[in-house]
Structure 1
Amino acid sequence: MSRPISSLLLALVLACITSQPLSAAPAPKEMQVDPAHNPLIWADVPDIAIIRVGKTYYMSSTTMHMSPGLPIMKSTDLVNWTMASYAYQTLADNDALRLENGKNAYGEGSWASSLRYHDGVFHASTFAANTGRTHIYTTRDPERGPWKETSFEPLLGDHSLFFDDDGRVYMVYGGGRIMLTEMKPDLSGIKPGGVNKVIVENVNALFGADQGGLKGEGSQLFKANGRYYLFNIASPGSRWARTVTIHRADAIDGPYEGRIALDDRGIAQGGLIDTPEGKWYAYLFKDNAAVGRIPYLVPVTWKDGWPVLGENGKAPMTLDIPAGAQGVSGASGIVASDEFDRRPGDPALPLAWQWNHNPKPHDWSLTKRPGYLSLTTSRVVPTLLEAPNTLTQRTFGPSSSATTRIDVSGMKDGDWAGLSAFQRQYGFVGVKMSDGARSLVMVSAETDKPEEFASIPLSGKTVHLRVDCDFEPAPEIARFSYSLDGKTWTPIGRPSRLKYTFPHFMGYRFGLFYYSTKTAGGRVDFDYYRVGQGTEDRR
């Protein structure tokens, strides 16, 4: 097994690394503290919901067709986030989520979540098109669980769960036309005879005659200073520009009055959070092309009972919060290197890992060959998009890299294995087995059809693989290379264009994969997985 030198065992790169942040005002070196900066996390962490419990913040997000899903993150400063848990291991068990019988759940799975804390219980809720249901997960301990699921029909899209002061509980949901629906006290479904009414007939009416565009969605409901505040996103008809809209009311069922709250670079969708010291912020996200939808934190002041977002109508890049260790995370972080060594009591996989769709438990192992991730195949598929047990982590900006070493001695004819920049229009470097011979290959599906751009005979049984993703400057590309000794890297093929596409609706991920196109039953072993900041950190 190949192991990194000690310098590579230092702090792991988190996706919130940005370009050079602005420094604080000059101060003695030992006293100087850099401010935090936007984006908070330069990686795909969309549809965020944030709550504060005492002095600790918790955040949920969307991961759609990935398993486990509905990630829960934790912070003590609103800036530095670590993974706490997932609300579920698998959303449901059906053909689409298993990638079986020609079906898939790309762009489905769980969508925009809501996160609440009430009477000592954490509630993470979501909805899913491929189950047709609304799902609510509860626990008293978001780090250790267990999470208990309740689900019901119908699907309440882009909902916001809300516990009112009088003990009643509601969901606000809808697109364009926003509904308020009262829930049963045990959250098992809609309350018969309860409140069920339209509270905003048309969010986009705020644009006057310039309606159309994105219909108001992404509801998040809050109560502050005795009033109810409803956040949505929408866009005018003349241009696609996500904006933040806010409606307020003195009673939960209205009447509501609204205004446009922020129109800046498409930074939108989210809500309000306050600090123990009484500061207010809006948490939002920005569509940032191939890397995905990335979180921003925007200061909030109050004027005439309205939250005022940003500074002079803009989301500032520098924040009035100390950066701390922003840009770095530990082994349970949002991204994490992994040597695949496990001691007794260790979790099978760090929380940074997610499978593409539901995993096949019998086709992966960390014990068949200790210190390695072993992947086997039990069925035949045509391409990487149909392959089960692709193990993924987020890419991050402005550039990032992933490396691995793979033992391919157990491959069969028609097998493919390697390391991918994974989305619908993926690219990868890997090994294929054809007519009894192994070849190093580089493949790109940037035109939606996988095309082999390089093939080099591989005489040995092991090889190191590397993918570098550059998200700035444009064009966004992935570059691929290999090494026979883990020290000297040789480019292979050509750069592959990266493009945020539907139906995946997700930023690019690094993925370890293995699939069979002719005969199942082969095996490959991955020795390690290491993340870095891109080209400059080549070893």
Structure 2
Amino acid sequence: MKEKSLLCLLWCVLFLSDLSKAQTARNAIIFADVPDMAMIRVGDSYYMSSTTMHMSPGLPIMKSKDLVNWQLVSYAYDTLANMDALNLTNGKSTYGRGSWASSFRYHNGLFYVTTFAQTTGKTYIFTTKNIEKGPWEMSSFSPSYHDHTLFFDDDGKVYLIYGAGKIKMVELEADVSAVKKGSVEQIIIENASLPSGTGGGLPAEGSQLFKVNGKYYLFNINWPKGGMRTVVVHRADKITGPYEGRVGLQDLGVAQGGLIDTPDGKWYAYLFRDYGAVGRIPYLVPVTWKDGWPVLGNEGKVPEILDLPASKGLMPGIVASDDFSRKMGEPTLPLVWQWNHNPDNQLWSVTERKGFLRLKTGKIDTSFVSARNTLTQRTIGPESSASTLVDISKMKEGDMAGLGLLQKKYGFAGIKRGKGKSSIVMVRSLTGKAEEIESLPLAQNKVYLKAECDFKDKKDTASFFYSLDGKSWLPIGKPLKMSYTIPHFMGYRFGLFNYATKNIGGYADFDFFRVEDKIEKRN
């Protein structure tokens, strides 16, 4: 009897422990590509900006009430600039560039989100009074200040702190519209990498500056040679220094970000981790204070469990299905969608055929990555799948349309329109050259396509399928070994596309896009 009671007690303890874990957050808080976060709290609401580089609209803004469950609420810009590299025209692109790490502030009733772009050579300042509804106002100036942090000091002065290895500072005009006339660039830290060692590696960058209890705290990321990505923290009594530094965190390669506090006085560091093909995924790390320094993690380790509410999932806040039906007053495209580079708005529509996304061809292209008007959403981990139904009846000879996974080493399932015939194809590019892995004859004008992604334990494998009736799915081609490449510098994205290789003027109609956070179990 006593043994049964002990077993019952043990079972209750284990059950309650599992239940407790299920009701709390787990790292990573977002299993999707949301890198270079900058975060603020206004009242009881948190806002976060991130990097999406060559995507349009750009500089996404997310909102949360608990630091765990996030929803896209805005973008700072529709398009960054009108030029060949951003338009995917004349053989140019801005893969891996576009706009990079942003800075986020709330000051005197205005939201400020700033970024910089190698593509244009400029620094951009975006402001709004209403972060969810806008409008956003933009100002820009040269040069492009690398990985800068915008900072409003208590004396009314405004600064940008920026650089890699050697951290510099420049003062801005009070309205943040330009570098202050007569301002001289200052070096505030000669070598920000020193706290983590002197032996080479990537220099400290990703500056984010905070002021807590009268002291300045500068967060940077660096990658010591032979080591892992590391959080480096510097502290000073004056913004100009001198700064003393130390390693803030060195675990799992979780790094780059800054500090956020909660209304009840808790502190966290928001950081990200490189996680293979799905991209750079956000983590939260608890912070305590000791001797005037932020202490990150639990005894220097990134915890799996957080004392925060559990995640409700990434759908529909980060990714979402779309049937392309629009009611009066609804946005033409929900915020979960971004175009690969700037779109040509004359060549797509969700109104010309009710309940369909129409993608038209307007130029001759050579490949999936050179095609304009590819509409994308993030893939998510640990598993995700997307499917669509495409009507090919108005495609022209040489047209290619379908569902792809976008990165340099891409793959897709699509329909190739030939002369008087069509075929379902699976294409992948692992070496920079597209290979048609399998081609099957198609005798109808509608076909269902699906892509499945397995990111568990960095397996990073995708498979493609087709269906003629939407019920029975058949594999096509070979698995795609997904790989995060620096030339594209972005996690894989699902993409709906249509491009011409011979004749312009055709179009493909997509009936829906369905995304799920699971893949079908197969033998």
Q: What is the alpha-carbon distance in structure 1 between the residues aligned to residue 392 and residue 426 of structure 2?
A: 16
One-letter amino acid of the structure 1 residue matched with residue 163 of structure 2: G
What displacement does 1:456 show?
A: 0.4
Counterpart mapping for 1:302-321 below 5 A:
302-321=289-308
Report if aligned partners of 2:196, 2:246 keep a CA contact under 8 Å in 1. no
Counterpart mapping for 1:28-177 below 5 A:
34-177=23-166
Check if 1:409 corresponds to 2:383. Answer: no
Check if 1:194 corresponds to 2:183. Answer: yes
Change (3 A) 1:180 1:32: closer
Unmatched tracts of structure 1, length 5 or more: 1-22
Q: What is the alpha-carbon distance in structure 1 between the residues aligned to residue 22 and residue 399 of structure 2?
A: 52
One-letter amino acid of the structure 2 residue matched with residue 224 of structure 1: V
1:345-388 C-alpha deviation (Å, 9 max, x unpaired): 00000100000000000100011100000010111011111100
Check if 1:211 corresponds to 2:211. Answer: no
Which shifted more, 400-409 or 473-482?
A: 473-482
Change (3 A) 1:442 1:167: same
Report if aligned partners of 1:204, 1:212 keep a CA contact under 8 Å in 2. no
Q: Number of aligned residue pairs: give it.
A: 511
Report if aligned partners of 1:482, 1:491 keep a CA contact under 8 Å in 2. yes
TM-score of the superposed pair, with normalisation by structure 2? 0.95
Choose from 515, 524, 532 the match for 2:508. 524
SS in structure 1 of the partner of residue 216 of structure 2 = strand
Report if aligned partners of 1:338, 1:530 keep a CA contact under 8 Å in 2. yes
What displacement does 1:29 show?
A: 11
Change (3 A) 1:474 1:158: closer
What displacement does 1:189 show?
A: 1.3
Unmatched tracts of structure 2, length 5 or more: 1-11
Check if 1:338 corresponds to 2:322. Answer: yes
Aligned residue number for residue 327 of structure 1: 313
One-letter amino acid of the structure 2 residue matched with residue 275 of structure 1: T
Check if 1:270 corresponds to 2:235. Answer: no
Aligned residue number for residue 7 of structure 2: none
Q: What is the alpha-carbon distance in structure 2 between the residues aligned to residue 67 and residue 264 of structure 1?
A: 34
Choose from 465, 471, 474 the match for 1:487. 471
Q: What is the alpha-carbon distance in structure 1 between the residues aligned to residue 292 and residue 312 of structure 2?
A: 33
Report if aligned partners of 1:36, 1:326 keep a CA contact under 8 Å in 2. no
Choose from 421, 428, 433 the match for 2:417. 433
Change (3 A) 1:327 1:200: same
Aligned residue number for residue 281 of structure 1: 268
SS in structure 2 of the partner of residue 36 of structure 1 = strand
One-letter amino acid of the structure 1 residue matched with residue 313 of structure 2: G
Choose from 343, 361, 364 the match for 2:348. 364
Q: What is the alpha-carbon distance in structure 2 between the residues aligned to residue 537 and residue 173 of structure 1?
A: 48
1:409-461 C-alpha deviation (Å, 9 max, x unpaired): 01111110000011111000010012221000000102221100110000000
Aligned residue number for residue 181 of structure 1: 170
Change (3 A) 1:381 1:24: farther
Aligned residue number for residue 408 of structure 2: 424
One-letter amino acid of the structure 2 residue matched with residue 159 of structure 1: H
1:26-50 C-alpha deviation (Å, 9 max, x unpaired): 5499999611010010000000000
One-letter amino acid of the structure 1 residue matched with residue 339 of structure 2: W
One-letter amino acid of the structure 1 residue matched with residue 121 of structure 2: G
Check if 1:389 corresponds to 2:373. Answer: yes
Q: What is the alpha-carbon distance in structure 1 between the residues aligned to residue 388 and residue 35 of structure 2?
A: 27
Q: What is the alpha-carbon distance in structure 2 between the residues aligned to residue 300 and residue 495 of structure 1?
A: 42
Aligned residue number for residue 243 of structure 1: 230
SS in structure 1 of the partner of residue 181 of structure 2 = coil
Report if aligned partners of 1:135, 1:150 keep a CA contact under 8 Å in 2. yes
Q: What is the alpha-carbon distance in structure 2 between the residues aligned to residue 328 and residue 408 of structure 1?
A: 31
Aligned residue number for residue 301 of structure 1: 288
What displacement does 1:236 show?
A: 1.6
Change (3 A) 1:261 1:469: same
What displacement does 1:186 show?
A: 1.4
What displacement does 1:322 show?
A: 1.8
SS in structure 1 of the partner of residue 194 of structure 2 = helix
Report if aligned partners of 1:24, 1:32 keep a CA contact under 8 Å in 2. no
1:167-200 C-alpha deviation (Å, 9 max, x unpaired): 1110000000000111111112111233631111
SS in structure 1 of the partner of residue 193 of structure 2 = helix
Change (3 A) 1:32 1:199: closer
Q: What is the alpha-carbon distance in structure 2 between the residues aligned to residue 537 and residue 50 of structure 1?
A: 38
Percent identity for Structure 1 against Structure 2: 59
SS in structure 1 of the partner of residue 242 of structure 2 = coil
Report if aligned partners of 2:277, 2:458 keep a CA contact under 8 Å in 1. no
Q: What is the alpha-carbon distance in structure 2 between the residues aligned to residue 130 and residue 190 of structure 1?
A: 20
Change (3 A) 1:27 1:472: closer
Aligned residue number for residue 507 of structure 1: 491
Change (3 A) 1:253 1:28: closer
Check if 1:226 corresponds to 2:214. Answer: yes
CA RMSD of aligned residues (A): 1.7
1:231-261 C-alpha deviation (Å, 9 max, x unpaired): 0001222x14110000000111111000011
Q: What is the alpha-carbon distance in structure 2 between the residues aligned to residue 265 and residue 462 of structure 1?
A: 46
Q: What is the alpha-carbon distance in structure 1 between the residues aligned to residue 292 and residue 165 of structure 2?
A: 24
SS in structure 1 of the partner of residue 456 of structure 2 = coil
Report if aligned partners of 2:210, 2:216 keep a CA contact under 8 Å in 1. yes
One-letter amino acid of the structure 2 residue matched with residue 405 of structure 1: L
TM-score of the superposed pair, with normalisation by structure 1? 0.92
Report if aligned partners of 2:251, 2:302 keep a CA contact under 8 Å in 1. yes
Report if aligned partners of 2:236, 2:243 keep a CA contact under 8 Å in 1. yes
What displacement does 1:207 show?
A: 3.2
Choose from 433, 449, 454 the match for 1:470. 454
Change (3 A) 1:474 1:195: closer
